[in-house]
Structure 1
Amino acid sequence: MFFNNLKIAWRSLVKNKLFSVINVLGLSIGICAGIVIGAIVYYDFTFDTFHKDKDRIYRVTTEFNSSGHTFTNRGVALPLMQTFQEGIPGVELAAPFRSISFSKVENKAQDLRFKNEGNSILANDAYFQLFNYNWLAGDKESALSEAAQVVLSQKKAESYFPHIKIGDMIGKTLVYNDSVAVKVTGIVADFKQKSDLRFTEFMSMDSAPMFGLDELKTSDTWNNTSSGDQLFFKIKDKASLAGIQSRLEELANEHKNQEPWAENETRLFVLQPLSNIHFGGKYGEYPFNNSRHVASIKVLKSLGFVALFLLLLGCANFINLNSAQALTRAKEIGIRKTLGSSKKQVIRQFLMETLILTSLAALLSIVLAPVLLRQFADFLPDDISLSVLYSPVGIVGIISLIVMVSLLSGFYPAFVLSGFRPVSVLKGQFSKGDKGVRLRKTLTVFQFVVAQVFIIATLLVGKQLHYVLNKDMGIKTDAIAYVSVPWNDKSEVKKERLFNEIKNLGQLSNVSFGGEPPASNSYSTTILTYFRNGTEIHEQTQLLWGDVTYLDTYKIPILSGRERLNDSIKEYVVNEAFARAIGFEKPEEVVGEFVKLDTMNIQIVGLMRDFNQHSLKSGIDPMAITGDWSGRYSNFQNIHFDLGNNSEQWTESIDQIKKAWEGVYPDEEINLRFMSEIVQNFYRTEKSTVQLLKWATGLAILISCMGLLGLVVYTTERRVKEIGVRKVLGANLAQLNLLLCKEFLFLVAIAFIISVPIAWYMVQEWIQGFAYKTSLSWWVFIAGGLGMVLVSLAVIGARTYRTANINPVESLRNE
C-alpha cells in the first residue's frame, strides 16, 4: 500500500509540474531559512554546556544605581572575592580570577621570545575544580597552589616549547616581563566544544605580588570594581540561591560607600547563571570574547520569528495551490471513493504527496543553506558552520521539520479533497462556487502582509541606520586616527620622541597627546561635587584626558571661557550637559566656578560644545576634559592626528608613522585605529539587522510572488472561455488585464492596510533604543506599498497578458 501511494503521488506531482515546482521552491526557501537560522541559534546556545554541574555554576556581577542612572559591571570588588573564598552558606566552591596580559614571555632555554600575550588569568586550583578541562600533564589539585606556577593550554605550550613532548614540559621555566621566573606545572587540552572561557595561560593567584598586583591578596576596598575581577562559584543546590542573594544584599549594605557624594548611590550584587553569560546582556560582551559576533537573546528571538514566518509562507503557498487544484482533482477523488477508497486512505494519499514535496524541498534547502549562510559571513563568527546538520541532533531536527511542515501544509488540502461526495462529483453537481475561496484569499493576504511588513521594516530600519551613521556627532571623525603607546612601557622619553616624530611629519595636522578618543566604548567616570546655594550637587561625570590641542584636533569648539593653560595644570573644560546638570540654565555661566574632586578644588575655565561620546543610542553625558596631572600614572596613552583631506597621501603618511614607531618601539606591534571605524562599530548589531531584513524581505517577496503566480495561472486557466467571450464582444487587452488583475490587487491592498500598523509598531519599539531617532515618514509606508503593488502587477500582468492574447477561436472551439 505504501509503495502504491508513493507511485501514485509521484505521478500526480509530475503531471502538475508548475504547481509542484512552485510548492517545492516555496517550501525549500522556508526550510532553508529554518536550517540556517537553526544553526545560528544552536551555535549560540551550546556554549559552555559541557561543564559538570553547569546548572549550578553562577557568576556575581555588580549593578550601581545613582540619581536615576543604572550602571553595570561584570566584575566585583576584591574583598567580595576574598569573602567567598572564606565561605558563604550555600556556596560549595568559589573560583575568583583576575584577567591579565604579559608584555613579554621568554623561553630562555630555547632562546624564544613572545610579545603581548593575552587571554591569561590569575587563578587558583578552585578554577580547575569548577570548570572541566582535560589535563594532559600535571595535577589539577595542586598546579596553582603556590607562587610562580603556571598552567598552559596545549596550543600555548606547543608555541612556547616547540619540539618538546607534553610530559617533558612540566617543570620547565618561563620568564615573564623580563624578570619573573615561573615554573610550568600543568598542560590542559584546548576546548573542543564551544566556550567563552578562552584562556590559554593560567598563572597562580599567589604570583600576583610578583606582577605588582599586591591588592589581589590584601585589598580591603569595597568601592573599587574592575570588570577584570571575576567571581564564579558553584551552589550546593537550587534552594541555596535565595540565601546567597540575601547574604550579598547584606554585604552591599554593610560596605556601602560612605563618601558624601555617594549618599544616593546604591549597589547590588547580582547572580548570573553560566548559561546566560554568553549572551552578555546588560553586562556587555563577555570580556574575553574577541569575536565580531555578539550573541543576543533578542536577536535570536527575532531570527526565530523570521524563520517561522518564512516557513509559514511556504506552507500557505502549498495550502493555497493544493486547495485551488481541488476542482481539477474532484473526479479523481470521486472515482477513488466509488471504487472503495475510504476517507482515511484518500487523506494518506495526499499527505504522501505532501511528504514527497517536502522531502524534495528539504534536499534542495540543504544545497542552498551554505549559500545563504555565506551572506551573513560579516556578522557571524568564523567557526559557525552547518556541520550540525550531519549530527544526530541535526538529522532528528530536519526529519522533525519535514514531518511538521508536511502535516502543516498537507493536512487541510487532504481534508478538503477527501471530503468530496462521489455521487455529486460524478454527476457534475460539484459546486464551482466559493468552496475554499475564502481560505485562499485569507492565505494570500497573510503572505502579502508578511512581505509588506518586511519591506516597510527594512526601509525604516535602513533609514534609521543611515541617519545615525551620517548624523553629525559634534566631532570630526573623517581622516582622524590615533596610535596607542605600549601600556607596559613607562618611558616618558620614548613616548615624547614618538610624539615629536609624528608631529614633524609634513602631511599631518593637529597632532595631540591624550587618552581615549572623544567617542569610544572605553571611558572613565568620576563624581564631581558643586556647591550651590548651600547644597552639594554630586554629578557623575565622564572624564576625558587630552593636551591643549586635543579639542582642536577633533574640532570641538570652546563656546565660552578659554582652553587650559597647559597639560599639567589642574583645570577643567566642561560640556554644556555638565553645566545644565549642576543647575545652570545658561551654560556659559559655569565658567569660573569651582568643583571638588575628592579633596581638591578645581576651576572650570572653559565650556565646550556638546558632542556624542557614544553611539546615538545614548544621550550626551556630563563631561570634563583635563590634563595629565594625576601623578600615579600617565593618562596620555594615545597620539591623535588628522591625516588631512588628501586621501591619496594617507597610505604614505601611515607608512611614515609605522616607520617612526619601529624606530622607537622595535619590539612592539603598532595599534593604529581610525575614528570612522570606531563609529561604524557602534552599530554592528543594527547592520546585521538590516542585512537580515533585506534577505527576509527578498525571500518573503519571492515566496509570495510564486504563490501569487500559481493562483493567477489557476484562475486564468479557469477563465479562458470567459475571456474568449469577452474578446468576441469587443473587450480590449487593457480591459481584460484590469478584469483579471483587480481581484488580486484588492488582496494586496487589504494586506497593505493590515501591514502598516504592524510594521509601525514593530519599528517604533525597535527605534526606542535610540536617543536620536529619524522620523517614521509616511512616504516610507507608501513606497513599501507601491513597491509590492508593482511587483504584484509584474507577476500578474505577465500571465494575464498571455491569457488575454489567446485567440477566441482556440478557447471557444469546443463550445
Structure 2
Amino acid sequence: MLKNYFKIAWRNIMKHKVFSLINVIGLTIGLSASFIIGLMIYYDFTFDNFHKNSDRIYRVVSNFSGPNGKFFNSGVTVALEDAIKENSNFEVINGFTVERPSIVENKEESIVKKWPNHVIFTTPEYFDIFEYNFLAGNKNDALENPNQVILTDTRAKEYFPKLNPSEIIGKTLVYNDSLNIKVSGIVENLKGRTDFIFQEFISKPTILNTRLRGDFINKNWNSTNSSSQLYVKVSSNNNLDQIRKELNDLAAKHLDDFSRKHNQSKEFVLQPLHDIHFNDSYGTYDWERSQASKPLLRNLGLVAIFLLLLGCINFINLNTAQATQRSKEIGIRKALGSSRKQLIMQFMGETFLLVFLSGVLSLILSKWLINVFSDFVQQGLTFSLFGNPAIIIAIILLLLIVTFLSGFYPALIMSRFNVIAVLKNNLGSGEKKALLRKSLTIFQFTIAQIFIIATLLVGKQITFLLNKDVGFKTDAIASIYSPRGERELAKKELYLQKLKAVPQIKHLSIGGVPPASNSYNTSTTTYTDGEKKIQSDIQFIFGDTNYAELFELKLLAGKMFRNDTVKELVINETASKTFGFKSPQDAIGKSLDFGDSKTPIVGVMSDFNQQSLRFDISPLALTGDWYRPRYSRYMAVHVAFHDLSNEDFKKTLDQIKNIYGEVYSEIEDYRIEFMDETIAKFYNKENKVSKLLSWATGLSILISCLGLWGLVIYTTNRRVKEIGMRKVLGASVLQINTLLCKEFLILVSIAFVLASPIAWYGIHTWLQDFSYRTDIGFMTFLISGFIMIVFALIVISIKTIQAASSNPVNSLRSE
C-alpha cells in the first residue's frame, strides 16, 4: 500500500511539473536558510556546555557606575579571591592572570617562540572547575610550587616536537630570557567547542618572579584589570541571591573615599558560564574571533522561519488552487472505496516527496551557503557538523513539520469533496478557498515588503554613519602599534626618527590610540567655581605635540601643551560646557581636580566623535605622557600620508613595514590600522544586519513572486475561454492584461499598506540605539512599494500577456 501511495504521488508530481518546481524551489530556499541558520545557532549555543556542572560555574566580573554611566570589566581586583576563600557557598574558587611572555625558549633544542599567546598564571583549582584529561603529570601537585608549567598537547608539540608527553615532564623552558620553568604536566586540549583557549598554565606563585609581582603582593582593592580573572563553582544555585549580596557588600566595604565622594560605585557580578560566549560587555579570551551575538542569532532565526513559512504558503496556495483539477480522481477513488484517511495519506505522501527532494537539494546547497554567510558563520563551523546526530534528528523533525504545515490543509480540503457532487461536476465556487489563497498571498508580500523597506532604511543609516563628518581627519592616516607588551619609549622614538626619512609621509606623531577607537581611558574630575562643584568623568587621549596637527583637531581657544611631560589639558567643547564655562576662552587657565593634583586647562578644541555614532560625544581631554619614567601611555606611531597613487602607497607601506623590522628585529608582531577602516569597523554589526536583510529581501521576493506566478498560471488557465470571448468582442491585449493583473496588484497594494507601519515601527525602534541617525523619509516607503509592484507586475505580465495574445479560436474551439 505504501509503495503504491508513493508511486501515484510521483506520477502526480511529474504530471504538474511547473507547480511542483515552484514548490520545490520555495521549500528549498526556506530549508537551506533553516539548515544553515539552525547550524549556526546550534554551534554557538553549545559552547562550553560539556563541562561537568557547567550550570554552577560562574565568572566574577566588575561593574562600575558613575555620573557618566556604567562601565564593565571582565576582571576583578586581585584581593577578591582571598576575601571569599572561606565562603562555604563556593565549592571551588580559582583566580588566574592572563599574560603574554615576550619569548619562550627550549634551549636544549634551540626552539624559540616569540610572544606566545593564551598563557595564564593559575592554581590547581583551575583543573577542578574545568576538567582536562592529563596525558602526563599529576593534577594535584603539578602547579603547587613556583616555576612549574602545564602545557596542552598542542603547545607541547611546538616546544618539544620529538618527545612524547611522559618524556617532556621535567624539561625546562626559559621565559623572558631569565625565568626557568619546569614542565610538570601535559593535558589534552579541550575536545568540545570552548572559549577557554589557554595553552600554557604557569603556577601562580611564579608571578612573584615577574613584572606582575607588585600587583600580586599589594592586592589593591581599587585596582581592577581585565587580566585578573576569577571563577567560582557554587555549591548550589539556590544560594545565588545570598552570594550576590555578600559580593556587593564586599565591593561597598572596600570602596575608596574618592569614589564615594564622586558618586561612583562598584559591584561584583556572577556571570554564568553560558553567557561568556555571547556577552560583549565582558568579552571572551580570543580577541581575534568576533563575539557571538544572541540578538543577531535571534534575527537570523526569524529570517529562517519567515522564509520557510513563505515556501509553505506557496505549497498551500498552489495545492488548494489545483484541488478542482483533481476532483474527478478523488471522486472515483471514493466511489471505489477509498476512505478519507487513505486520501489524506496519499496527499501527504506527495507532500513528503516534494519536501524530501527539497531537503536533499538544501543539503547540497548548504555547503555553498556556508561560504556565502561567512560574515555570520564562526570559523570552526564547517559542513561536517551536519553529521552530528543531534543535527540529523533536527533535520528529520524539521522535514516532518514542514510536510505537515504544507500538506495537511490541502489534503484535508481535497479529501472532503463529496463524491456525488464531484461526479456531477458540481463543486461550487470555492469562495472560502479563494479567500484563504488571497490572505496567504497578502501575508507573503507583506513579509517581502517589510524586508524591502528595512533593507533600504538600514542601508540609508549605514551610508549616513560612514559619510558623516566625525570632526577630525580620517583619510590617508595609519597607526603602527608597538608589539603587545613592549614598553620601551626609546624604540618608538627611534622608529619615528627613521620614518622621517620617508618622503611620502606628511606628518608623524607618537601617541596612544587615535581620536576615535574602541579603547578608552577615563577618570573622574571636579571643577570648583567658588562654592559650586561640578563633577564629571572625562576621557583621555594621549599624544605628543604633533598629534593634534596630524589628526587636524581644531583649536577654539588657548594653545596646545608645551611638551609631552608637562601636566596640561586640552579639553573639548563638551567638557567645557559640562564644567559650566560660558565660552571656550573662559576655560583657559582654570584647573580640574583629579584628587591627587590639580591640572590646568591650556586649550579647548572642537568636538569630535570618539566612538561609533551610536554614542554622544563625551567630555574629553588631550594630554601628553605624564607618567614617565614609570611607564608610557604611548603605544603607536601615527602617520599621515601625502596624496599618493595606489602603486606609490603600496611601496610606502612596504617601506614602513621594513623599517619596523629594523627597529623591532626580534619581534614579528607587526600591526597597522588605518583610520578610515577603524571607523568602518564601528559598524560591522550594522553591515551584517544590512547584508542579512539584503539576502532575506531577495529570497522573500523570489519565493513570493514564484508563488504569485503559479497562481497567475492557474487563474489564466481557468479563464482561458473568457479571455477568448473578450478578444472576439473587441477587447485589446492591454485591456485584457489590465483585467487579469488588477486582482493581483490589489493584493500587493494591501500588503504594502499592512507592511508600512510594521516596518516603520521596527526601524524607528532600531534607530533609537544611535545618537546620530538619518530621517525615516516617506520617499523610502514609496520607493519600496514601487519596487514590489514592479516585481509583481513583471511576474504577472509574463503569463497574462501570453494568454491575452493567444488566438481565441483555440480557446473557443470546443464551444
TM-score bracket, normalised by the shorter chain, equals over 0.9
Change beyond 3 A, Cα 1:327–1:579? same
| Residue 428 in structure 1 maps to residue 425 in structure 2 | yes
2:493–2:510 Cα contact (<8 Å) kept: no
Please give the alpha-carbon distance, in whole angstroms, between the structure 2 residues aligned to 1:588 and 1:323: 77
1:566 matched residue in structure 2: 563
Deviation at 1:236, TM superposition (A): 0.8
Please give the alpha-carbon distance, in whole angstroms, between the structure 1 residues aligned to 2:369 and 2:661: 43
User: Pairwise mapping of residues 627-646 of structure 1 onto structure 2 (< 5 A)?
Assistant: 627-631=624-628, 632-646=630-644
Please give the alpha-carbon distance, in whole angstroms, between the structure 2 residues aligned to 1:23 and 1:182: 66
User: Pairwise mapping of residues 552-631 of structure 1 onto structure 2 (< 5 A)?
Assistant: 552-631=549-628
1:39–1:385 Cα contact (<8 Å) kept: no
Farther-moved stretch of structure 1 (495-504 vs 108-117): 495-504
Question: Quick one: which amino acid aligns to residue 2 of structure 1?
Answer: L
Deviation string, structure 1 residues 351-396 (Cα, Å, up to 9, x no partner): 1111111111111111111222211214432221232222211111
Deviation string, structure 1 residues 331-354 (Cα, Å, up to 9, x no partner): 211111121112111111111111
1:371 matched residue in structure 2: 368
Deviation at 1:488, TM superposition (A): 4.2
1:34–1:307 Cα contact (<8 Å) kept: yes
1:327–1:432 Cα contact (<8 Å) kept: no
1:779 matched residue in structure 2: 779
Please give the alpha-carbon distance, in whole angstroms, between the structure 1 residues aligned to 2:227 and 2:38: 33
User: Pairwise mapping of residues 456-495 of structure 1 onto structure 2 (< 5 A)?
Assistant: 456-495=453-492
Please give the alpha-carbon distance, in whole angstroms, between the structure 1 residues aligned to 2:392 and 2:265: 51
1:80 matched residue in structure 2: 80
| Residue 61 in structure 1 maps to residue 61 in structure 2 | yes
Question: Quick one: which amino acid aligns to residue 156 of structure 1?
Answer: R
2:146–2:205 Cα contact (<8 Å) kept: yes
Helix, strand or coil at the partner of 2:705: helix
1:261–1:527 Cα contact (<8 Å) kept: no
1:653 matched residue in structure 2: 652
Deviation string, structure 1 residues 567-619 (Cα, Å, up to 9, x no partner): 11111000011111112243442122111223212110100111111111111
2:814 matched residue in structure 1: 814
2:704 matched residue in structure 1: 704
Paired residue for 1:444, among 430, 441, 446? 441
2:492–2:636 Cα contact (<8 Å) kept: no
Deviation at 1:216, TM superposition (A): 4.5
1:234 matched residue in structure 2: 233
Change beyond 3 A, Cα 1:569–1:418? same
2:572–2:620 Cα contact (<8 Å) kept: yes
Helix, strand or coil at the partner of 1:118: coil
1:545–1:625 Cα contact (<8 Å) kept: yes
Please give the alpha-carbon distance, in whole angstroms, between the structure 2 residues aligned to 1:737 and 1:487: 70
2:492–2:510 Cα contact (<8 Å) kept: no
1:460–1:776 Cα contact (<8 Å) kept: yes
Deviation string, structure 1 residues 497-555 (Cα, Å, up to 9, x no partner): 21111123211011011111111111211112211231332211111110111011111
Change beyond 3 A, Cα 1:286–1:37? same
Please give the alpha-carbon distance, in whole angstroms, between the structure 2 residues aligned to 1:374 and 1:43: 16
Farther-moved stretch of structure 1 (484-493 vs 353-362): 484-493
Please give the alpha-carbon distance, in whole angstroms, between the structure 2 residues aligned to 1:673 and 1:712: 55
1:738 matched residue in structure 2: 738
Query: What RMSD in Å do the two structures reach over aligned CA positions?
Result: 1.4
1:29 matched residue in structure 2: 29
Change beyond 3 A, Cα 1:281–1:742? same
1:519 matched residue in structure 2: 516
1:643–1:653 Cα contact (<8 Å) kept: no
Helix, strand or coil at the partner of 2:622: strand
1:324–1:711 Cα contact (<8 Å) kept: yes
| Residue 308 in structure 1 maps to residue 305 in structure 2 | yes
Change beyond 3 A, Cα 1:808–1:75? same
1:105 matched residue in structure 2: 104
Deviation at 1:258, TM superposition (A): 1.2
Deviation at 1:489, TM superposition (A): 4.2
| Residue 120 in structure 1 maps to residue 112 in structure 2 | no
1:47 matched residue in structure 2: 47
User: Pairwise mapping of residues 789-804 of structure 1 onto structure 2 (< 5 A)?
Assistant: 789-804=789-804
Helix, strand or coil at the partner of 1:122: strand
2:68–2:536 Cα contact (<8 Å) kept: no
Deviation at 1:220, TM superposition (A): 3.6
Helix, strand or coil at the partner of 1:75: coil
Q: How many residues align?
A: 812
1:89–1:243 Cα contact (<8 Å) kept: no
Please give the alpha-carbon distance, in whole angstroms, between the structure 1 residues aligned to 2:582 and 2:421: 85
Please give the alpha-carbon distance, in whole angstroms, between the structure 2 residues aligned to 1:244 and 1:261: 23
| Residue 278 in structure 1 maps to residue 277 in structure 2 | yes
1:725 matched residue in structure 2: 725
2:507–2:641 Cα contact (<8 Å) kept: no
User: Pairwise mapping of residues 6-405 of structure 1 onto structure 2 (< 5 A)?
Assistant: 6-67=6-67, 69-84=69-84, 86-259=85-258, 262-283=261-282, 285-291=283-289, 293-405=290-402
Deviation at 1:683, TM superposition (A): 1.4
Deviation string, structure 1 residues 306-349 (Cα, Å, up to 9, x no partner): 11101100110000000001111112111111211121111111
Please give the alpha-carbon distance, in whole angstroms, between the structure 2 residues aligned to 1:141 and 1:598: 47
Please give the alpha-carbon distance, in whole angstroms, between the structure 1 residues aligned to 2:458 and 2:589: 45
Question: Quick one: which amino acid aligns to residue 689 of structure 2?
Answer: T
2:197–2:285 Cα contact (<8 Å) kept: no
Q: Which runs of 5+ in 2 are unaligned?
A: none
Deviation at 1:288, TM superposition (A): 2.8
2:451 matched residue in structure 1: 454
Change beyond 3 A, Cα 1:153–1:262? farther
Q: Which runs of 5+ in 1 are unaligned?
A: none
Please give the alpha-carbon distance, in whole angstroms, between the structure 2 residues aligned to 1:260 and 1:35: 51
Deviation at 1:287, TM superposition (A): 3.5
Deviation at 1:662, TM superposition (A): 2.1
Farther-moved stretch of structure 1 (640-649 vs 581-590): 581-590
Please give the alpha-carbon distance, in whole angstroms, between the structure 2 residues aligned to 1:262 and 1:611: 30
Helix, strand or coil at the partner of 1:327: helix
Please give the alpha-carbon distance, in whole angstroms, between the structure 2 residues aligned to 1:475 and 1:642: 12
Helix, strand or coil at the partner of 2:117: strand
Taking structure 1 as the reference length, what is the TM-score of the superposition? 0.98
1:333–1:417 Cα contact (<8 Å) kept: yes
Change beyond 3 A, Cα 1:699–1:515? same
1:208–1:216 Cα contact (<8 Å) kept: no
Please give the alpha-carbon distance, in whole angstroms, between the structure 1 residues aligned to 2:770 and 2:286: 27
Deviation at 1:776, TM superposition (A): 1.1
Change beyond 3 A, Cα 1:139–1:216? farther
Please give the alpha-carbon distance, in whole angstroms, between the structure 1 residues aligned to 2:718 and 2:200: 74
Helix, strand or coil at the partner of 1:202: strand
Deviation string, structure 1 residues 152-182 (Cα, Å, up to 9, x no partner): 1111111111212221111111111111111
| Residue 752 in structure 1 maps to residue 749 in structure 2 | no
Please give the alpha-carbon distance, in whole angstroms, between the structure 1 residues aligned to 2:382 and 2:487: 44
Helix, strand or coil at the partner of 1:759: helix
Question: Quick one: which amino acid aligns to residue 367 of structure 2?
Answer: P
Deviation at 1:769, TM superposition (A): 1.4
Deviation at 1:260, TM superposition (A): 6.1
Question: Quick one: which amino acid aligns to residue 635 of structure 1?
Answer: R
Please give the alpha-carbon distance, in whole angstroms, between the structure 2 residues aligned to 1:305 and 1:802: 38
Please give the alpha-carbon distance, in whole angstroms, between the structure 1 residues aligned to 2:164 and 2:798: 72
Please give the alpha-carbon distance, in whole angstroms, between the structure 2 residues aligned to 1:635 and 1:71: 21
2:65–2:266 Cα contact (<8 Å) kept: yes
2:196–2:285 Cα contact (<8 Å) kept: no
1:511–1:639 Cα contact (<8 Å) kept: yes
Farther-moved stretch of structure 1 (158-167 vs 799-808): 158-167
